[in-house]
Structure 1
């Protein structure tokens, strides 16, 4: 199964990563099956806020409990928030990582 994610809607009180947090709970039964999550989480641990429900670290930990992990972080042995390679280029320009 493939689940596409685009966390956006800055106007929503549960914007960005909080939307992903809500979704992984809403789709809990689906996440128990073999699944690939792909897309744009619009998030990173560097933007975690203490005591905020569903920050990036909480999402990563919740997914790990379901044995769902970032392929990028496993492949490159990178810690969340300390990525050595750009994973996004603004306007697809290499000079804008």
Structure 2
């Protein structure tokens, strides 16, 4: 169930965000929100690259609290930067939710 929730929040829920907040150009917004998943490229610098029960928050460079401050600042800029900020922060929230589910199980 955790895997389903994780991938739904990464791929499905951004569609709802795009439709709810960017009605006129929801397709473009959805593609930008999906593109923010490229932030996971920082997983490639980890050793090992994949570890099943590792929390990415504050472990990978682009998943740190400092990076999240930059993502927060993006919210106050013009499109498409604010959409990118929303996508990156939602990505962090999704990964944080995953961390919480790992700590409970």
Which has the bigger relative contact order, CA under 8 A and spacing at least 6? 2
TM-score clears 0.5 = no
Higher helix share: 2
Higher strand share: 1
Report the TM-score, using the length of structure 1 for normalisation. Answer: 0.31
Report the TM-score, using the length of structure 2 for normalisation. Answer: 0.29
